[in-house]
A and B are shown apart, each in its own frame.
Chain A
Amino acid sequence: MRAGILGKKARRGEPDFYLQITSMIDTLVIILVFMLMTIGSGSVNLEMASNLKLPWSTAGADLTQGLKLVVRMDGVMLEQEAIVPMKDGIIAHNLTSEDGKKVTVLFQKMLTKAQESRKAADKTTLKFEGKVLVQADKAVPLKTIKQILYTAARAGYNDFKFAVVRQ
Protein backbone atom coordinates (compact mmCIF):
# COMPACT_ATOMS: atom_id res chain seq x y z
CA MET A 1 0.00 0.00 0.00
CA ARG A 2 2.72 2.42 1.11
CA ALA A 3 4.86 1.37 -1.79
CA GLY A 4 1.93 2.16 -3.96
CA ILE A 5 1.53 5.64 -2.53
CA LEU A 6 5.23 6.24 -2.71
CA GLY A 7 5.21 5.03 -6.20
CA LYS A 8 2.40 7.45 -7.12
CA LYS A 9 4.22 10.32 -5.36
CA ALA A 10 7.44 9.42 -7.05
CA ARG A 11 5.69 9.29 -10.36
CA ARG A 12 4.16 12.72 -9.69
CA GLY A 13 7.64 14.07 -8.88
CA GLU A 14 6.85 15.04 -5.21
CA PRO A 15 9.80 14.74 -2.78
CA ASP A 16 9.56 11.92 -0.17
CA PHE A 17 10.16 13.18 3.36
CA TYR A 18 9.86 11.13 6.53
CA LEU A 19 11.02 12.46 9.90
CA GLN A 20 13.00 9.78 11.78
CA ILE A 21 11.29 10.04 15.15
CA THR A 22 12.59 6.74 16.58
CA SER A 23 16.20 7.89 17.05
CA MET A 24 15.05 11.22 18.48
CA ILE A 25 12.87 9.46 21.06
CA ASP A 26 15.81 7.20 21.96
CA THR A 27 17.98 10.23 22.60
CA LEU A 28 15.30 11.96 24.65
CA VAL A 29 14.74 8.87 26.79
CA ILE A 30 18.47 8.52 27.48
CA ILE A 31 18.78 12.20 28.46
CA LEU A 32 15.69 11.95 30.66
CA VAL A 33 16.92 8.84 32.49
CA PHE A 34 20.38 10.39 32.97
CA MET A 35 18.94 13.57 34.44
CA LEU A 36 16.52 11.74 36.70
CA MET A 37 19.39 9.58 38.01
CA THR A 38 21.57 12.65 38.57
CA ILE A 39 18.88 14.39 40.57
CA GLY A 40 18.01 11.33 42.61
CA SER A 41 21.60 10.51 43.64
CA GLY A 42 21.89 13.11 46.42
CA SER A 43 20.80 12.01 49.87
CA VAL A 44 20.40 15.53 51.21
CA ASN A 45 18.68 18.42 49.54
CA LEU A 46 21.01 21.24 50.42
CA GLU A 47 20.16 24.69 49.20
CA MET A 48 23.12 26.91 48.48
CA ALA A 49 22.84 30.02 50.57
CA SER A 50 23.32 33.30 48.78
CA ASN A 51 26.51 35.38 49.22
CA LEU A 52 28.43 32.26 50.08
CA LYS A 53 31.60 30.89 48.48
CA LEU A 54 32.28 27.38 49.64
CA PRO A 55 35.87 26.10 49.61
CA TRP A 56 37.01 23.49 47.11
CA SER A 57 38.10 20.06 48.16
CA THR A 58 39.48 16.99 46.45
CA ALA A 59 37.88 14.63 48.93
CA GLY A 60 34.63 14.25 50.77
CA ALA A 61 31.73 11.94 51.32
CA ASP A 62 28.03 12.29 50.65
CA LEU A 63 26.24 14.82 52.78
CA THR A 64 24.07 13.49 55.57
CA GLN A 65 21.15 14.93 57.47
CA GLY A 66 21.86 17.34 60.28
CA LEU A 67 21.16 20.76 61.68
CA LYS A 68 21.91 23.22 58.89
CA LEU A 69 24.24 26.02 59.89
CA VAL A 70 25.31 28.67 57.40
CA VAL A 71 28.27 30.91 58.21
CA ARG A 72 28.57 33.86 55.87
CA MET A 73 30.82 36.88 56.13
CA ASP A 74 27.86 38.95 57.31
CA GLY A 75 26.24 36.57 59.75
CA VAL A 76 25.31 33.11 60.98
CA MET A 77 22.07 31.43 59.96
CA LEU A 78 20.54 28.43 61.69
CA GLU A 79 18.01 26.52 59.60
CA GLN A 80 17.63 29.56 57.30
CA GLU A 81 17.01 31.93 60.21
CA ALA A 82 19.51 34.75 60.71
CA ILE A 83 20.82 34.41 64.26
CA VAL A 84 24.08 36.29 64.69
CA PRO A 85 25.20 39.34 62.71
CA MET A 86 28.88 39.56 61.78
CA LYS A 87 31.15 42.11 60.21
CA ASP A 88 33.84 40.73 57.89
CA GLY A 89 33.39 37.30 59.43
CA ILE A 90 33.99 38.51 62.99
CA ILE A 91 31.41 38.18 65.77
CA ALA A 92 31.17 41.22 68.01
CA HIS A 93 32.50 40.59 71.51
CA ASN A 94 29.26 41.70 73.20
CA LEU A 95 27.43 38.80 71.49
CA THR A 96 29.70 36.24 73.13
CA SER A 97 30.25 34.86 76.59
CA GLU A 98 32.84 32.69 78.38
CA ASP A 99 35.65 35.06 77.41
CA GLY A 100 34.57 35.26 73.78
CA LYS A 101 34.45 31.49 73.23
CA LYS A 102 30.67 30.97 73.18
CA VAL A 103 28.18 32.78 70.96
CA THR A 104 25.31 33.40 73.36
CA VAL A 105 22.29 33.65 71.04
CA LEU A 106 23.46 30.77 68.88
CA PHE A 107 23.96 28.62 71.96
CA GLN A 108 20.42 29.28 73.18
CA LYS A 109 18.92 28.50 69.77
CA MET A 110 20.97 25.34 69.32
CA LEU A 111 20.21 24.16 72.84
CA THR A 112 16.49 24.54 72.12
CA LYS A 113 16.90 22.61 68.86
CA ALA A 114 18.84 19.88 70.65
CA GLN A 115 16.18 19.54 73.32
CA GLU A 116 13.45 19.35 70.68
CA SER A 117 15.40 16.75 68.71
CA ARG A 118 16.03 14.67 71.84
CA LYS A 119 12.34 14.75 72.71
CA ALA A 120 11.41 13.74 69.16
CA ALA A 121 14.03 10.97 69.20
CA ASP A 122 12.71 9.61 72.51
CA LYS A 123 9.32 9.06 70.92
CA THR A 124 10.86 6.94 68.17
CA THR A 125 13.60 4.34 67.93
CA LEU A 126 15.98 6.94 66.52
CA LYS A 127 18.86 8.35 68.52
CA PHE A 128 19.91 11.97 68.76
CA GLU A 129 23.29 12.05 67.02
CA GLY A 130 24.14 15.73 67.32
CA LYS A 131 25.08 16.23 63.70
CA VAL A 132 25.58 19.67 62.20
CA LEU A 133 25.91 20.43 58.52
CA VAL A 134 28.10 23.51 58.24
CA GLN A 135 28.13 25.67 55.12
CA ALA A 136 30.80 28.27 55.69
CA ASP A 137 32.29 30.90 53.42
CA LYS A 138 35.91 30.14 52.55
CA ALA A 139 37.06 33.53 53.82
CA VAL A 140 35.61 33.13 57.31
CA PRO A 141 38.42 33.23 59.90
CA LEU A 142 39.31 30.12 61.88
CA LYS A 143 38.60 32.04 65.09
CA THR A 144 34.93 32.38 64.11
CA ILE A 145 34.70 28.75 63.03
CA LYS A 146 36.13 27.71 66.39
CA GLN A 147 33.65 29.94 68.27
CA ILE A 148 30.75 28.39 66.37
CA LEU A 149 31.97 24.82 66.82
CA TYR A 150 32.61 25.42 70.52
CA THR A 151 29.09 26.82 70.88
CA ALA A 152 27.59 23.88 69.02
CA ALA A 153 29.57 21.40 71.09
CA ARG A 154 28.35 23.05 74.30
CA ALA A 155 24.77 22.74 73.03
CA GLY A 156 25.24 19.00 72.43
CA TYR A 157 26.24 18.92 68.77
CA ASN A 158 29.63 17.21 68.44
CA ASP A 159 29.58 15.74 64.94
CA PHE A 160 30.26 18.24 62.17
CA LYS A 161 30.11 17.91 58.44
CA PHE A 162 31.60 20.76 56.42
CA ALA A 163 29.97 21.22 53.04
CA VAL A 164 32.58 21.76 50.33
CA VAL A 165 32.58 21.76 46.54
CA ARG A 166 34.30 18.77 45.01
CA GLN A 167 36.98 19.66 42.47
Chain B
Amino acid sequence: MFVRKKHVAHDFELNLTPIIDCFVTLICFLLLSTTYVNLVGLDAKVPISVPSSSAKADTAPKFKLELIVKANAMELDASGAGTASGRKVLANIGGKPDFAALHAVLVKVKNERPKEFSIYFTSHVEMDYEQLVRFMDTTRNLTAQDGVFAITDERNGHTVKVDTLFPDFVLANLAAQTTK
Protein backbone atom coordinates (compact mmCIF):
# COMPACT_ATOMS: atom_id res chain seq x y z
CA MET B 1 0.00 0.00 0.00
CA PHE B 2 1.39 3.25 -1.04
CA VAL B 3 1.26 6.19 1.20
CA ARG B 4 1.04 9.37 -0.76
CA LYS B 5 3.44 11.90 0.70
CA LYS B 6 2.06 15.28 1.21
CA HIS B 7 3.64 17.68 -1.23
CA VAL B 8 5.22 20.54 0.62
CA ALA B 9 5.95 23.67 -1.37
CA HIS B 10 9.21 25.38 -0.39
CA ASP B 11 10.10 28.91 -1.22
CA PHE B 12 13.48 28.56 -2.86
CA GLU B 13 15.55 31.45 -4.07
CA LEU B 14 18.94 30.89 -5.66
CA ASN B 15 21.54 33.14 -4.09
CA LEU B 16 23.21 34.64 -7.13
CA THR B 17 25.38 37.15 -5.30
CA PRO B 18 28.53 34.94 -4.94
CA ILE B 19 28.20 33.75 -8.56
CA ILE B 20 28.08 37.31 -9.82
CA ASP B 21 31.03 38.17 -7.58
CA CYS B 22 33.04 35.32 -9.13
CA PHE B 23 32.11 36.37 -12.66
CA VAL B 24 33.05 39.98 -12.10
CA THR B 25 36.38 38.98 -10.53
CA LEU B 26 37.14 36.59 -13.41
CA ILE B 27 36.30 39.15 -16.05
CA CYS B 28 38.45 41.80 -14.38
CA PHE B 29 41.34 39.32 -14.20
CA LEU B 30 40.95 38.31 -17.84
CA LEU B 31 40.65 41.90 -19.01
CA LEU B 32 43.85 42.83 -17.23
CA SER B 33 45.82 39.76 -18.31
CA THR B 34 44.77 39.66 -21.96
CA THR B 35 47.11 41.09 -24.57
CA TYR B 36 45.34 42.62 -27.53
CA VAL B 37 48.29 42.42 -29.91
CA ASN B 38 47.80 39.66 -32.43
CA LEU B 39 51.19 38.09 -32.95
CA VAL B 40 51.69 35.87 -35.96
CA GLY B 41 54.70 34.24 -37.57
CA LEU B 42 56.27 34.61 -41.00
CA ASP B 43 58.22 31.60 -42.20
CA ALA B 44 61.73 31.94 -43.50
CA LYS B 45 64.27 29.32 -44.40
CA VAL B 46 67.91 29.17 -45.27
CA PRO B 47 69.15 26.99 -48.11
CA ILE B 48 70.66 23.64 -47.21
CA SER B 49 72.95 22.05 -49.75
CA VAL B 50 72.19 18.40 -50.44
CA PRO B 51 74.72 16.93 -52.91
CA SER B 52 72.43 14.21 -54.34
CA SER B 53 69.57 16.59 -55.10
CA SER B 54 72.00 19.09 -56.62
CA ALA B 55 73.14 16.45 -59.11
CA LYS B 56 69.53 15.78 -60.09
CA ALA B 57 68.86 19.44 -60.56
CA ASP B 58 71.54 19.63 -63.23
CA THR B 59 69.84 17.08 -65.46
CA ALA B 60 66.20 18.14 -65.16
CA PRO B 61 64.94 21.69 -65.84
CA LYS B 62 63.66 22.98 -62.55
CA PHE B 63 61.65 25.95 -61.39
CA LYS B 64 63.57 28.57 -59.50
CA LEU B 65 62.44 32.04 -58.57
CA GLU B 66 65.01 34.48 -57.28
CA LEU B 67 64.50 38.03 -56.08
CA ILE B 68 67.64 40.16 -55.99
CA VAL B 69 67.49 43.60 -54.39
CA LYS B 70 70.03 46.09 -55.69
CA ALA B 71 70.66 49.76 -55.05
CA ASN B 72 68.38 51.17 -57.75
CA ALA B 73 66.21 48.25 -58.77
CA MET B 74 64.95 44.78 -58.01
CA GLU B 75 65.61 41.85 -60.27
CA LEU B 76 63.26 38.93 -60.47
CA ASP B 77 64.81 35.92 -62.14
CA ALA B 78 62.40 33.10 -62.95
CA SER B 79 63.50 29.88 -64.59
CA GLY B 80 61.26 27.02 -65.61
CA ALA B 81 58.19 29.24 -65.36
CA GLY B 82 56.95 28.98 -68.97
CA THR B 83 56.12 32.32 -70.56
CA ALA B 84 56.94 34.12 -67.30
CA SER B 85 60.53 32.86 -67.37
CA GLY B 86 63.39 35.30 -67.64
CA ARG B 87 64.91 38.18 -65.77
CA LYS B 88 62.82 41.24 -65.09
CA VAL B 89 64.24 44.46 -63.76
CA LEU B 90 61.91 46.58 -61.64
CA ALA B 91 63.32 50.06 -61.11
CA ASN B 92 62.81 51.81 -57.78
CA ILE B 93 60.26 54.60 -57.61
CA GLY B 94 61.37 57.61 -55.59
CA GLY B 95 64.27 55.60 -54.23
CA LYS B 96 61.96 52.93 -52.86
CA PRO B 97 61.24 49.45 -54.19
CA ASP B 98 58.19 49.20 -56.42
CA PHE B 99 56.25 46.60 -54.44
CA ALA B 100 53.14 46.87 -56.65
CA ALA B 101 55.11 46.02 -59.79
CA LEU B 102 56.86 43.17 -57.97
CA HIS B 103 53.53 41.77 -56.87
CA ALA B 104 52.14 41.96 -60.43
CA VAL B 105 55.11 40.03 -61.85
CA LEU B 106 54.89 37.44 -59.08
CA VAL B 107 51.22 36.88 -59.89
CA LYS B 108 52.15 36.19 -63.52
CA VAL B 109 54.75 33.64 -62.41
CA LYS B 110 52.24 32.05 -60.05
CA ASN B 111 49.77 31.82 -62.90
CA GLU B 112 52.30 29.71 -64.81
CA ARG B 113 53.42 27.58 -61.87
CA PRO B 114 50.70 27.48 -59.19
CA LYS B 115 52.28 24.42 -57.54
CA GLU B 116 55.49 26.25 -56.70
CA PHE B 117 55.80 28.06 -53.40
CA SER B 118 59.49 28.93 -52.93
CA ILE B 119 61.26 32.19 -53.61
CA TYR B 120 64.95 32.90 -52.99
CA PHE B 121 65.74 36.33 -51.65
CA THR B 122 69.10 38.05 -51.93
CA SER B 123 69.84 41.65 -51.03
CA HIS B 124 72.95 43.52 -52.07
CA VAL B 125 71.87 46.64 -50.19
CA GLU B 126 71.41 47.31 -46.51
CA MET B 127 67.84 47.63 -45.26
CA ASP B 128 66.09 47.37 -41.95
CA TYR B 129 64.14 44.37 -40.75
CA GLU B 130 60.83 46.13 -41.34
CA GLN B 131 61.57 46.34 -45.05
CA LEU B 132 62.55 42.69 -45.13
CA VAL B 133 59.14 41.86 -43.66
CA ARG B 134 57.58 44.07 -46.37
CA PHE B 135 59.31 41.93 -49.02
CA MET B 136 58.07 38.78 -47.27
CA ASP B 137 54.54 40.21 -47.26
CA THR B 138 54.66 41.11 -50.94
CA THR B 139 55.94 37.72 -52.02
CA ARG B 140 53.39 35.92 -49.89
CA ASN B 141 50.06 37.69 -50.14
CA LEU B 142 47.41 37.20 -52.79
CA THR B 143 44.59 39.69 -53.15
CA ALA B 144 41.07 39.22 -54.47
CA GLN B 145 42.00 41.08 -57.69
CA ASP B 146 44.75 38.56 -58.48
CA GLY B 147 42.26 35.85 -59.36
CA VAL B 148 41.92 32.33 -58.09
CA PHE B 149 44.67 29.74 -58.32
CA ALA B 150 43.93 26.08 -57.91
CA ILE B 151 46.05 22.96 -57.99
CA THR B 152 45.16 19.29 -58.10
CA ASP B 153 46.33 17.19 -55.21
CA GLU B 154 48.08 14.21 -56.79
CA ARG B 155 47.36 11.97 -53.81
CA ASN B 156 43.58 12.15 -53.94
CA GLY B 157 42.76 14.06 -57.13
CA HIS B 158 41.00 16.86 -55.26
CA THR B 159 41.27 20.44 -56.41
CA VAL B 160 42.84 22.66 -53.78
CA LYS B 161 42.55 26.43 -53.80
CA VAL B 162 45.83 28.26 -53.38
CA ASP B 163 45.57 31.42 -51.29
CA THR B 164 49.24 32.46 -51.15
CA LEU B 165 51.84 33.43 -53.73
CA PHE B 166 55.27 32.21 -52.64
CA PRO B 167 55.18 31.74 -48.86
CA ASP B 168 58.43 29.73 -48.64
CA PHE B 169 60.80 32.64 -48.31
CA VAL B 170 64.39 31.41 -48.54
CA LEU B 171 67.05 33.83 -47.38
CA ALA B 172 69.77 32.98 -49.85
CA ASN B 173 73.38 34.07 -49.76
CA LEU B 174 73.46 34.69 -46.01
CA ALA B 175 77.22 34.88 -45.98
CA ALA B 176 77.28 37.74 -48.50
CA GLN B 177 77.96 41.23 -47.27
CA THR B 178 75.52 44.06 -47.93
CA THR B 179 76.39 47.65 -48.70
CA LYS B 180 74.65 50.86 -47.70
State the A residues within 8 Å of B (CB).
Answer: 21, 24-25, 28-29, 31-32, 35-36, 38-39, 46, 48, 54-64, 71, 100-101, 133, 136-143, 145-146, 149-150, 153, 158-166
Asked whether A58 and B137 contact (CB < 8 A) given A25-B19, A136-B129, A138-B128, the answer is yes
Known: A39-B34, A100-B177, A141-B128; 4 extra A-B contacts, CB below 8 A, are A58-B137, A59-B140, A138-B129, A145-B132
Q: Are the C-beta atoms of A163 and B126 separated by less than 8 Å?
A: no
In the bound complex, how far is the Cα of B16 from the Cα of A63, in angstroms?
Answer: 40
Segment at the interface with A among B44-52, B54-62, B105-113: B44-52
In the bound complex, how far is the Cα of B39 from the Cα of A133, in angstroms?
Answer: 12
B118-137: CB near A (< 8 Å → 1, else 0) gives 00000100111111111011
Q: Are the C-beta atoms of B123 and A142 separated by less than 8 Å?
A: yes
22 A-B residue pairings within 8 Å (CB atoms): A25-B16, A28-B20, A32-B30, A39-B34, A57-B133, A59-B140, A60-B41, A62-B40, A63-B40, A71-B129, A101-B174, A138-B129, A140-B128, A141-B128, A142-B131, A143-B178, A146-B178, A149-B46, A153-B46, A162-B133, A163-B39, A165-B37
Q: How many contacting A-B pairs (Cβ < 8 A)?
A: 143
Chain A residues lying within 8 Å of B20, measured Cβ to Cβ, are 21, 24-25, 28
Asked whether any CB of chain A lies closer than 8 Å to the CB of B104, the reply is no
Chain B residues lying within 8 Å of A136, measured Cβ to Cβ, are 129
Taking the nearest CB of chain B, how far is it from the CB of A106, in angstroms? Answer: 14
Nearest neighbor of B41 in chain A, beta-carbon distance: A161
Asked whether A150 and B34 contact (CB < 8 A) given A25-B19, A158-B45, the answer is no
Asked whether any CB of chain A lies closer than 8 Å to the CB of B8, the reply is no
Contact of A59 among B39, B44, B137 (CB under 8 A): B137
Segment at the interface with A among B21-29, B72-80, B81-89, B152-160: B21-29
Asked whether A140 and B126 contact (CB < 8 A) given A58-B137, A59-B141, A161-B41, the answer is no
In the bound complex, how far is the Cα of B133 from the Cα of A68, in angstroms?
Answer: 18
Nearest neighbor of A41 in chain B, beta-carbon distance: B38
Chain A residues lying within 8 Å of B46, measured Cβ to Cβ, are 149-150, 153, 158, 160
Q: Which among A35, A56, A71 has the highest number of chain B CB atoms within 10 Å? A: A35
Chain A residues lying within 8 Å of B126, measured Cβ to Cβ, are 141-143
Nearest neighbor of A71 in chain B, beta-carbon distance: B129
In the bound complex, how far is the Cα of B16 from the Cα of A143, in angstroms?
Answer: 61
Asked whether A63 and B30 contact (CB < 8 A) given A24-B20, A139-B129, A149-B174, the answer is no
